[in-house]
Amino acid sequence: MSGKNEHPEDFGTGARDLQEHFEPHELKNPIPWPLIAIAATLAIWGGATLLFDARATTTGRDALLAQGRPEMTPSLVETAAQEGDAAAARSAALYDSYCATCHQTNGAGVRGAVPPLDGSEYVLADAALPVSILLRGLSGPIVVDGEVYDARMPTWHATLGDEEIAGIVTHVRGAWSNDAGPVSAEQVAATRAALSAELDRPWAGGAELFDAFGEFSETMADDQPEEPRAQ
């Protein structure tokens, strides 16, 4: 090799070793036996995997069929219906169609945009408070669970009847981790009557609610923004 003469430093021992290594091998055994052994092992593994997966196909299909309706967040409507309580089922359905769009089916709301209902002190306070929020709606800053929300909740008094509002509030107060008492249609009617003149004006935020309902929660009083910000 001419390179050897020109560059003794480039083709030293390494090159000679290599020559010695492969010259004798190549004529006898062009394919090293370990490679053939690996190939055979892989082939057996491959066949076994194919067989296993053929079995899994059937199992998986059956599982999916048995599952029937998919478990998204388990539907509250269905859960209530299974418990045999028709009224509760109706309330859950009302919640799903009017409220879940924003507050989500799990009542967690949407971080930064929609306050949670699960664990909310407004929901768990005296029933007149959540009822009057539903009736009048809300437009202004409100602090829930330490977070400020710029609320814009629709006014429902014209859309929903006393019984429907009672159902929704009862549902929300008892759903998820909430554990507050039910609300009757009569209570809603009374609140509606008391608010009569102001039904079309949404609450201006947490501060106004606090003024109207007094200290329903000790922690919240200090949290509320002083003045409702102008929209």
Partner 1 sequence: MVFTIGTLVLVSFAVSLMALVVLIWAISRSDLQLDQHDADTIFEAEARPAGFDDPSERTEDTRSPIGIGGEDLHPAASRQAVLFMLGMATLWLVIGSVFGLMASFKLHMPDWLNDWAPLTFGRVRTMHLNLVAYGWATAGGVGLALWLIPTIFGTHLRLPRLALLGGVLLNIAVAGGVTAIGSGWTDGLEWLEIPWQFDILFAIGALCLVVPLLATARHRQVHHIYVTGWYYLGAMIWFPVLFVVANIPGLHVGAQQAAVNWWFAHNVLGLWLTPLGVGAAYYLLPRIIGKPIYSYRLSLVGFWALALFYSQVGIHHLIGGPIPTWVVTLSVVQSVMMFIPVIAVAINQHPLWMGNLSAFRASVPLRFVAIGALLYTAASFQGSLEALRSMNSVTHFTHYTVGHAHLGAYGFVSLVLFGGFYYVVPRLLGRVWPMSWLMHAHFWLVTVGFAIYFVSLSIGGWLQGQAMLDPARDFLASMELTIPYLTGRSIGGTLMLLGHFAFAINLVAILAGRGAERMPLAAAPQPGE
Partner 2 sequence: MNRALPLILLATTILVFATVFLVILPAGQIRSAAIPEGLEPYDAAETRGRAQYVSLGCVYCHSQQPRAPEQAPDTARGWGRPSTASDYAFDSPHLLGTMRTGPDLLNIGARMPSRAWQLTHLYQPRAIHPTSIMPSYPFLFETKPEAAAGDVLVQLPPEYRPEDGSVVVARPEALDLVAYLVGLDRTYPAATPDLRDNGYAEAREGEAE
Contact set with partner 2 (CB under 8 A): 45, 48-49, 52-53, 55-57, 59-61, 63-65, 67-73, 100-102, 104, 110-114, 150, 152, 229
Size of the site for partner 1 (CB under 8 A): 40
Range list of H helices, the chain? 2-6, 13-28, 33-67, 76-82, 86-98, 100-103, 121-124, 128-136, 162-174, 185-195, 206-213, 218-223
CB under 8 Å to 96, separation ≥6 — which residues? 75, 76, 77, 105
Which structure tokens are listed for 131? 């009822």
Binding partner at 73 among partner 2, partner 1, none, C-beta below 5 to 8 Å by kind: partner 2
Residues in the chain: 231
Binding partner at 24 among partner 1, partner 2, none, C-beta below 5 to 8 Å by kind: none
Looking at beta carbons only, is 96 or 208 nearer to partner 2?
Answer: 96
Backbone phi, then psi, for 158, in 5-degree steps?
-80, -25
String marking each residue 5-44 x if it binds partner 1 according to CB under 8 A: -xx-xxxx-xx-xxx-xx--xxx--xxx--xx-xx--xx-
Looking at beta carbons only, is 73 or 159 nearer to partner 2?
Answer: 73
What DSSP designation does 228 have? Answer: P
For residue 66, how far is the Cα from the chain centroid? Answer: 25
Please state the closest distance from residue 64 (CB atom) to partner 2, in A: 4
Residues near partner 1 (CB under 8 A): 1-4, 6-7, 9-12, 14-15, 17-19, 21-22, 25-27, 30-32, 35-36, 38-39, 42-43, 45-47, 49-50, 53-54, 56-58, 60
